[in-house]
Amino acid sequence: MNQRFTDLILAAIKQRLSDLHITGGFSLIFRRDGTIHFDKNIKWSHTEIDAMVKEMLSDRQLQMLRKRWSVDFALSFNHVRVRINTFYTTRGLSLAIRLLPETIPDLNSLNLHPSLNQIVELESGLILVCGSTGFGKSTTVAAIIEEINRTRSAHIITIEDPIEYRFKPKKSFIEQREVGIHVPSFNQGLLDVLRENPDVIFVGELREPDTIRLTLNAAESGHLVFATLHATDAEDAAYRINNCVTGENQDVIRYQFASTLSWLIVQHLTFINKVGFRVPMLSILRATPSVQSSIRENKLTQLENIMSTSKNEGMFTMKQYEKEFIGNRSSFVHPYKSFGMGADSSKEQDYVSSLIDPNAIQDVIYMSSVEDALKNEATPTFSDEDDRQYVILEDHDVELKDIIAQYDEAKEEKIEKKRPKK
């Protein structure tokens, strides 16, 4: 590991920084309590950044960077874990670095509402934690999963991009898979996970429609499923789920979502002047019959009103939460106490099986049927060996020869459309 980079990360922790930004020929940028600052005394040259990034990346990650000009990964050292996005800009390579505690924070030390401890007792259902990037969604989920790990026997499987917190099995058995290293995609991980006998599943992020659909399938099959989603409020989150597909499939998604949802939490971080640091500000929606009905009928504008009138059922709008919980709380735990000595952090070393090609890169498309695959713009053309894509179909009622015939027919149609008209 680059010593200058290591020293910078350790200094950033002591100064209670949350994020660092490094780019060639420019001052170091850092974020403290949500505000951007400049340090003109620290600069990296373009060539220094290239050399440092090359040292950090595995061969496979380096291939990915060269192919798509950005890559996500995470590193652990000196009881600290950092999540890094390296991307190409006008200044060459840039690094966006998020500092994470190596030791998973205790749920009760995150200044969250104590009702979240009830989630630990659930055996099934969907727990959706939403918010913008950098607002602590992953930390909240990790703390809840760690409490499950500490208090009960369960098989927990996580699918993340990248792995942010490394869990050490306690009462639970935990297995973690990183997209691009242990599994090609979230979708493949979700197809796999139902055959792996889990009790609890964590899906790092709901991005694509098929990922949402497979996540709902996992929750519908009786598992406790955690997932994060970029959304600004409960209505926005429900809208993104309900409208991730079109046509008659939309009704199926709405009914699945309504029947599986247990908690929908939206989290922001707000600076509190009286304590001098940021604390989580939540809205909490719970799956009562009225909430389920609003989701099924797509009457999502009703959700805010349901939350505001359902305090007795454990719900809060963000304004209510700020006034009734944050405003009445007498003391808060400083978030940087989470950065402890890491004595309880996972000491397991990553192992690469000799049966796995760690540099294999697959461009995989997941479709529920042949018709969906043929309609999709990303359907492979099979014209270039280096750009070959793989299509995984969940349609079990079709034979291989029929799939090939349909692809040949679709290929001919595309060629015909491209021919100039006489």
* Alpha-carbon distance values, 136 to 99, 133, 362 (Å): 11, 8, 31
SS3 91: coil
**Residue 96 belongs to what H/E stretch?**
strand 92-101
Alpha-carbon distance of 101 to 87, in angstroms, equals 24
CATH 3.10.20.30 fits 3-101, yes or no: no
Please list, in sequence order, all residues whose beta carbon lies within 8 angstroms of the beta carbon of residue 224, skipping any fewer than 6 positions away. Answer: 122, 123, 124, 125, 127, 199, 200, 201
The pLDDT value recorded for residue 406 is: 76
Q: Which two tokens stand for residue 275?
A: 């304590």
Instruction: Supply the pLDDT for residue 384.
Output: 42
Torsion of CA 272, 277, 280, 281, to 10 degrees: 20
Over residues 130-175, the pLDDT tens digits come to 999 889 999 999 999 999 999 999 999 999 988 989 999 999 999 9
Upper half-sphere CA count for residue 398 (Cβ side, 13 Å)? 16
What mean pLDDT, rounded, does the chain reach? 87
CA distance 337 to 92: 35
What is the predicted pLDDT for the residue at 410? 73
Rg (alpha carbons) of the chain, rounded to whole number = 23
The residue extents of the domains of the chain are 3-101, 107-338, 364-418
Q: Could you give the 3-state DSSP secondary structure of residue 267? A: strand
CA 125, CA 225: separation in Å to the nearest integer?
A: 6
Q: For residue 373, what are the CA distances in angstroms to 124, 355, 377, 399?
A: 32, 30, 8, 15
Q: Which residues of the chain have a pLDDT value below 70?
A: 1, 338-347, 358-400, 414, 417-422
**What are the tens digits of pLDDT across the range 176-223?**
999 988 999 999 999 999 999 999 999 999 999 999 999 999 999 999
Handedness of CA 237, 243, 249, 254 (dihedral sign): positive
Is domain 107-338 annotated with CATH 3.40.50.1460?
no
Q: What is the Cα–Cα distance from 234 to 250, expressed in whole angstroms?
A: 18
Residue with tokens 């002047």: 273
Report which of 318, 295, 311 is spatially closest to residue 131, judged by C-alpha positions: 318
Q: Quick check: 349 and 341 in contact, CB under 8 A? A: no
pLDDT at 334: 85
* pTM for this prediction: 0.80
